[in-house]
């Protein structure tokens, strides 16, 4: 059994008990490898499972009436895929592997059993889902009210903040193994426009990009440009129920 990246993420917010760690790690018992381009499920599918990403990146995407693709979210190590749509049996979006991936699938029922046995974990899962929801709302606001450069800055900062929540490291070099088309489909811009903006942001010494990495050269400048708020830095757990012993 490999180390649980999901435990690594959750323990950033809470001092987990051994039984809580064991319960979370139990959701990652059966890792499977999928090559880049694999469709893990399609929008509208009857989904009875959730997935935890151990390695690699996936895209949560939907198709617009025009046929164009809108990327709703990127998933990487430490993420649970499918939790945002758990209220529905039909998948609200498609999940596609952007890189080679290792994921662990488990039935929805297992999550319910975990919550029943560990109500404090249920509170933590709920809180993190709300953090992600607000982060997505911030990005939607950026799409509707910001220029292209601010949209890209918001996206890079959001990905960096989510990664730091897993690793605990404040590293300005962020691994983002995505194409210019992927970035454009996440922020509503064409590939050509994204390429031009990245050159501009590089000239302004805000970022540098080298293949699969983006370096946040002037993070304070990016935060100011995007009016970015880190939704993943802290979590109020004062209202959580006590841990089961």
Q: Which residues of 21-36 are buried (b: 16+ CB within 10 A; e: fewer)?
A: eebbbebbeeeeebee
Architecture label for domain 131-226:
Orthogonal Bundle (1.10)
Domain ranges of the chain: 5-119, 131-226
Residues 4-14 have pLDDT tens digits of 788 888 989 99
Sheet with 173-175, strands from edge to edge, namely 173-175, 213-216, 207-210
DSSP letter at 241? Answer: P
Q: Which residues of 76-109 are buried (b: 16+ CB within 10 A; e: fewer)?
A: bbbbbbbbbbeeeeebebbbbbbbebbbbbbeee
- Asked whether the beta carbons of 74 and 162 are under 8 A apart, the reply is no
51: left (phi over 0), alpha (psi -120 to 50) or beta: beta
Torsion of CA 129, 6, 211, 186, to 10 degrees: -20
* Alpha carbon distance 152, 197 (integer Å): 8
Cα–Cα nearest to 5, from 22, 25, 26, 23: 25
Question: Is the pLDDT at 215 greater than 60, yes or no?
Answer: yes
Structure tokens at 87: 């209220």
Which pLDDT does position 7 carry in this prediction? 87
Which pLDDT does position 126 carry in this prediction? 95
Residues 54-90 have pLDDT tens digits of 999 999 999 988 888 999 999 999 999 999 889 998 9
CB hemisphere CA count around 135 (13 angstroms): 23
Q: Which pLDDT band holds residue 2 (cuts at 50, 70, 90)?
A: low
* Alpha carbon distance 112, 229 (integer Å): 32
Which pLDDT does position 84 carry in this prediction? 87
- Rounded mean pLDDT, 16-24: 93
Residues 114-159 have pLDDT tens digits of 999 999 999 999 999 999 999 999 999 998 888 999 999 999 999 9
Which pLDDT does position 30 carry in this prediction? 83
Say which CATH topology domain 5-119 has.
Jelly Rolls (2.60.120)
34 phi and psi angles, rounded to 5 deg: -125, 135
Q: Which pLDDT band holds residue 168 (cuts at 50, 70, 90)?
A: confident
Which pLDDT does position 3 carry in this prediction? 64
Question: Is the pLDDT at 169 greater than 90, yes or no?
Answer: no
Question: Is the pLDDT at 1 greater than 60, yes or no?
Answer: no
Query: Is the pTM of the predicted complex or chain greater than 0.75?
Result: yes
């Amino acid at each position: 059994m490999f180390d649980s990246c999901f435990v690594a993420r959750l323990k950033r917010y809470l001092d987990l008990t051994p039984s809580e760690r064991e319960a979370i790690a139990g959701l990652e018992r059966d890792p499977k490898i999928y090559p880049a381009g694999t469709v893990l499920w399609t929008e509208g599918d009857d989904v009875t499972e959730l997935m935890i990403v151990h390695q690699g990146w996936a895209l949560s995407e939907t198709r617009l009436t025009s046929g164009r693709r809108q990327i709703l979210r990127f998933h990487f190590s430490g993420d649970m895929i499918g939790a945002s749509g758990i209220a529905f049996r039909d998948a609200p979006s498609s999940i596609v592997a952007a890189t080679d991936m290792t994921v662990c699938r488990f039935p929805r029922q297992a999550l319910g059993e975990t919550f029943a046995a560990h109500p404090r974990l249920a509170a933590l899962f709920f809180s993190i889902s709300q953090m992600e929801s607000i982060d997505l709302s911030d990005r939607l606001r950026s799409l509707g009210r910001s220029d292209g450069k601010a949209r890209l800055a918001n996206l890079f900062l959001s990905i960096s903040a989510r990664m730091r929540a897993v690793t605990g490291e404040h590293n300005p070099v962020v691994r983002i193994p995505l194409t210019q088309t992927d970035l454009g489909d996440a922020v509503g811009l064409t590939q050509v426009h994204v390429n031009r903006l990245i050159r501009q942001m590089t000239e302004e010494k805000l970022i540098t990009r080298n293949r699969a990495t983006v370096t946040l050269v002037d993070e304070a400048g990016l935060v100011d440009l995007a009016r970015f708020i880190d939704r993943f830095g802290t979590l109020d757990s004062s209202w959580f129920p006590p841990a089961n012993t």
